[in-house]
């Protein structure tokens, strides 16, 4: 049966727009069920604010099942809060205790400018994918799906990497604001598969170079892995670096052949 948490104090980042300085504001939650999700608590708070005539707190969210990657909160300094391997939307109030003070901030990274309150702009991720995060296979010309057997361990490893939800927690957790885990997850997904080989090195160079245009550099802190709601391993970054080094040679060699 559900029990109630009482006297929570929320310190929430409010910022009217990209150019506003922003500040913390404090809100009291006198009582909330431990069955409520963290975002449901914010829904209830927002409904109260609207009915009082105040502007609701802006935060990104959508599927509330931990798969769309839209939600994005730093909770007490941790990306997606204290529960391992889950997105903010999967966090429930039973993780907290009565009387807790909870600090809620947006992702903080130079590549993710704040739009309003807790919402940030993660368009730089799309730019990385657009530069090479795909297999060029126009509709219509595909051979039979069983033509190329893929060993199960390879398919499974590709799936482990493909599980990335693009939420940006890795960037938010990284002291350098690097996007190496995100980029390497996509590369490890596509570069491992037989279908991905034709573009492997072109893809690697393009995505890494685009990543470097927007994000900081990786210095192997490993915070990204700890924050990732899908537990994507930093081994992917090693694979990316290895492929990037190869790509730098191979792509030049390919060019000289033209």
Find the binding residues for another protein in span 221-250 (CB under 8 A): none
Q: Which residues contact 43 (CB under 8 A, 6 or more apart)?
A: none
Asked whether position 14 contacts another protein by CB under 8 A, the answer is no
Q: Helix H segments across the chain? A: 38-52, 123-132, 152-162, 169-173, 180-192, 200-214, 223-227, 235-257
Give the 3-state secondary structure of residue 162: helix
Fill in the DSSP letter of residue 88: G
CB of 145 to another protein, least distance (A): 4
Asked whether position 150 contacts another protein by CB under 8 A, the answer is yes
For the segment 25-84, give every residue that binds another protein (CB under 8 A). Answer: 33, 35-37, 39-40, 43-44, 46-47, 49-51, 53-56, 58, 60-70, 83
Q: How far apart are CA 86 and CA 79, in angstroms?
A: 10
Cβ nearer to another protein, comparing 186 with 224: 186
Nearest 5°: phi and psi at 232? -75, 135
Q: Which of 21, 26, 146, 256 binds another protein (CB under 8 A)?
A: 146
| Number of residues in contact with another protein under rule CB under 8 A | 83
Cβ nearer to another protein, comparing 127 with 221: 127
Letters for 88-117 (x = contact with another protein by CB under 8 A, - = none) are: --x-x-x--------------------xx-
Q: How far apart are CA 59 and CA 1, in angstroms?
A: 30
Piece of the chain touching another protein by CB under 8 A; list 23-31, 132-140, 218-226, 232-240: 132-140
């Amino acid at each position: 049966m559900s029990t109630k948490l009482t006297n929570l104090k929320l310190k929430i980042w409010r910022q009217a727009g990209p150019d506003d300085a922003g500040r913390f504001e404090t809100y009291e939650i006198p009582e909330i069920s431990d069955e409520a999700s963290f975002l449901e608590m914010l829904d209830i708070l927002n409904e109260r604010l609207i009915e009082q005539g105040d502007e609701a707190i802006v935060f990104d969210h959508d599927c509330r099942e931990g798969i769309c990657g839209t939600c994005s909160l730093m909770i007490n300094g941790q990306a997606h809060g204290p529960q391992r391997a889950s997105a903010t939307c999967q966090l429930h109030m039973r993780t907290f205790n009565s009387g807790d003070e909870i600090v809620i901030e947006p992702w903080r990274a130079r590549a993710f400018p704040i739009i309003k309150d807790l919402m940030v702009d993660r368009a730089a991720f799309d730019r990385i994918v657009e530069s090479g995060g795909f297999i060029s296979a126009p509709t219509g010309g595909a051979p039979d799906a069983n033509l190329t057997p893929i060993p199960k361990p390879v398919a499974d490893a590709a799936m482990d990497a493909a599980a990335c939800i693009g939420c940006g927690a890795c960037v938010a957790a990284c002291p350098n604001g690097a996007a190496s885990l995100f980029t390497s997850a996509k590369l490890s997904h596509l570069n491992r598969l037989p279908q991905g080989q034709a573009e492997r090195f072109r893809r690697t160079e393009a995505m890494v170079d685009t990543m470097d245009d927007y994000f900081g550099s990786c210095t192997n802190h490993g915070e990204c892995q700890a924050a990732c709601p899908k537990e994507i391993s930093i081994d992917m970054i090693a694979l990316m670096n290895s492929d990037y080094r190869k790509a730098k040679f191979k792509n030049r060699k390919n060019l000289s052949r033209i």
